[in-house]
Structure 1
Amino acid sequence: MTVDFTAIDFETANSSSASACSIGLVKVRDGRVVDRVHQLLRPPFPHDEFAYWNVRIHGITAEMVADAPGWADHLPAFLEFAGGDVLVAHNAGFDTGVIVGASRAFGLEVPDFRSLCSLQVARKTYHLDSYRLPSAAMAAGFEDFAHHDALADAEACAAIIVHAAKRHEADDLDALAHITRVKMGAIGPVATRERAAVHGPMALQ
């Protein structure tokens, strides 16, 4: 089973997609976690206000990220870690949207990545009352993690995809997406064009 991918999770300071204040990354090779990274990030002005509810959820404050790198500084390390992997996230549209929003806030070109949503995969794999990350992770055998810690959430997301791939006997993420009928997402100019070429113009809507 060649299940290779990078799981990703962002926490944000407020409702702006450019306000990333924490990122967790988990690299999976052959269905096993081989590397992990967690990094606090300093959101750029004017996206740097820490909203009360966000802080209450993840516990990160403006003081905690005062000396942290911004997305522009962290981007090379992120690109090196993720390489050409498919990015996996629970509600992937949110996390890939943060990559887009943060990159544009710094005047950077949006990097090219395909993505797969573990939330959508979980809905096609398990029969649950709730498909929130803790519930879906528990179904995959991953329990008692610090929800809303970016690294812990990325690890939980990785566990869901690995378990789902085994359950569906999928050899890789493309096979898993096909079996579960979950469309791959795409960000960045090249990845978006390639997705449109495969799925047609409606894929971009």
Structure 2
Amino acid sequence: MDFTAIDFETANSSGASACSVGLVKVRDGRVVDRVHWYIRPPFPHDEFSQWNVRIHGITPAMVADAPGWGTRVAGLREFAGDDVLVAHNAGFDMGVIVKSSEALGLAVPDYRSLCSLQVARRTYHLDSYRLPVAAMAAGFEGFSHHDALADAEACAAIIVHAAARHEVGDIEQLAHITRVRLGAIGSVAVRDDRATHGPMALQ
């Protein structure tokens, strides 16, 4: 059970306004490394909305001297390597990677992803599948929600617990048994689309 869990916080509603990211590396079902970085959002995506600041507590002053996405995406590649990226509501976090890269004219990195929210829906019977509730079902509680690193750790805990519950040994098997499709961004997304739909679908 090897993967990297990821969580972003954004300055505003723009997917290109990432201001914080947490990364947690899991090997054989155990957390072996973790990192948190602040990110300076690029203009014109750098305005901090009061709503977002109220949620995550990150202010413009806290990221004023932080590296931008161009530096952080290189760090992401180094940290995660070829891992599948796991996130709670993965469409949002993968969208941040795509939109942040596009905003700077950078190539979108190649990553497959698995959504722990969807896995939780296929694993637990809960009134809510918000991250704190799903994490509690996985035995991970008392963390600081909307802290990017804490959220990534909670996400990792859900995936590890779900894999044990379904008695599977890797991310691909977990996706298969829960019937949750692996997402993709970058050129790997194009390859996956061709494999699924064939060349005629691209014409």
Q: TM-score, normalised by structure 1?
A: 0.95
What's 1:194 paired with?
191
Determine what percentage of the aligned residue pairs are the same residue.
75
Query: Separation in 1 of the partners of 2:196 and 2:168?
Result: 21
Within 5 Å, give how 1:167-182 maps onto structure 2.
167-182=165-180
Secondary structure of 1:174's aligned partner:
helix
- Deviation of 1:160 (Å): 0.1
Aligned partners of 1:157, 1:200: CA distance in 2, in Å? 31
One-letter amino acid of the counterpart of residue 93, structure 2: D
Match of 1:142 in 2: 140
Question: What secondary structure is seen at the aligned counterpart in 2 of 1:16?
Answer: coil
Indicate the residue corresponding to 1:112 in structure 2: 110
Amino acid at match of 1:72: G
Shift of 1:199: 3.1
SS in 1 for 2:117: helix
1:26-84 Cα offsets, whole Å, 9 max, x none, are: 00000000000000000000000000000000000001100000000122111000100
* Distance in 1 of aligned mates of 2:6 and 2:108: 16
Runs of 4 or more, structure 1, over 4 Å off, are none
Q: Aligned AA for 1:196? A: D
**Partner residue, 1:51:** 49
- What secondary structure does 2:52 align onto? helix
Instruction: Return the letter of the residue paired with 1:172.
Output: D
Rounded to whole Å, the distance in 1 between the matches of 2:20 and 2:185 is 20
Of 95, 98, 121 in structure 1, the residue corresponding to residue 96 of structure 2 is 98
Amino acid at match of 2:77: L
Q: SS at the partner of 2:153?
A: helix
Match of 1:29 among 27, 30, 33: 27
Aligned-residue offset at 1:198 = 4.1
SS in 2 for 1:36: strand
Q: Distance in 2 between matches of 1:25 and 1:74?
A: 11
1: distance between equivalents of 2:169 and 2:195?
A: 20
Residue 65 of structure 1 corresponds to 63
Q: 2:162 — aligned with what?
A: 164
Give the SS at the match of 2:146: coil
Q: Confirm whether residue 87 of structure 1 aligns to residue 80 of structure 2.
A: no
Q: Once the two structures are superposed, what CA deviation does each residue of 1:81-109 show, in whole Å capped at 9, x if it has no partner?
A: 01000000000000000000100111100
Question: What is residue 4 of structure 1 aligned with on the other side?
Answer: 2
2:16 equivalent among 11, 15, 18: 18
Amino acid of the structure 2 residue aligned with 1:156: A
